[in-house]
């Protein structure tokens, strides 16, 4: 009986982990209604934003891999800090979070999150 319960719990965990990054609620691991930079990086950026885009696995994202034109738009001009038309992991990780953290409080709230999603950064 105990073993059976453990197995069931494991399966339940495994199936919920497969969708761990799919909602604001699951990424907000401490349930404070906001995503901290580490929560965002682990459950959104690593899980979906960057990994899925770097199709040739060179740890650089060009415009085609990004699927979003950040190199031409004025809004995004500062993202490519060294101007080499690639975004590295760090360039995108930091820029994306800062850009959508509109009130600069170091967290993404639900509205800020939705804006990033609406702009096509993730489909969650």
DSSP E strands in the chain: the ranges are 35-36, 60-61, 87-88, 107-108
Using the rule CB under 5 A, which residue among 28, 96, 121, 124 binds Ca ion?
28
56 phi, psi to nearest 5 deg: -100, 10
Q: Please identify which residue in 64, 72, 82, 118 interacts with Ca ion, judged by CB under 5 A.
A: 82
Q: Encoding tokens for residue 46?
A: 């690593």
> What is the size of the binding site for Ca ion (CB under 5 A)?
12
Least CB distance to Ca ion at residue 21 (A):
14
Query: Rounded to an integer, what distance in angstroms lies between the CA atom of residue 114 and that of residue 122?
Result: 10
d(CA 86, CA 66): 10
- Least Å from the CB of residue 64 to Ca ion: 15
**Nearer to Ca ion (CB atom), residue 4 or residue 46:** 46
The contact pattern for Ca ion, residues 85-104, with x = CB under 5 A and - = no contact, is -x--------------x-x-
């Amino acid at each position: 009986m105990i073993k059976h319960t453990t197995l069931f719990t494991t399966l339940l965990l495994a199936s919920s982990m497969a969708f761990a990054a799919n909602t604001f609620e699951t990424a907000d691991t401490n349930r404070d209604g906001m995503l901290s930079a580490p929560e965002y990086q682990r459950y959104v950026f690593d899980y979906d934003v960057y990994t899925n885009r770097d199709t040739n696995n060179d740890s650089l994202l060009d415009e085609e891999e990004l699927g979003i034109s950040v190199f031409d738009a004025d809004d995004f001009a500062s993202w490519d800090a060294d101007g080499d038309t690639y975004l590295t992991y760090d360039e995108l990780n930091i820029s994306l979070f800062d850009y959508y953290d509109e009130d600069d409080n170091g967290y993404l709230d639900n509205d800020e999150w939705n804006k990033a999603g609406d702009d096509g950064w993730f489909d969650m």
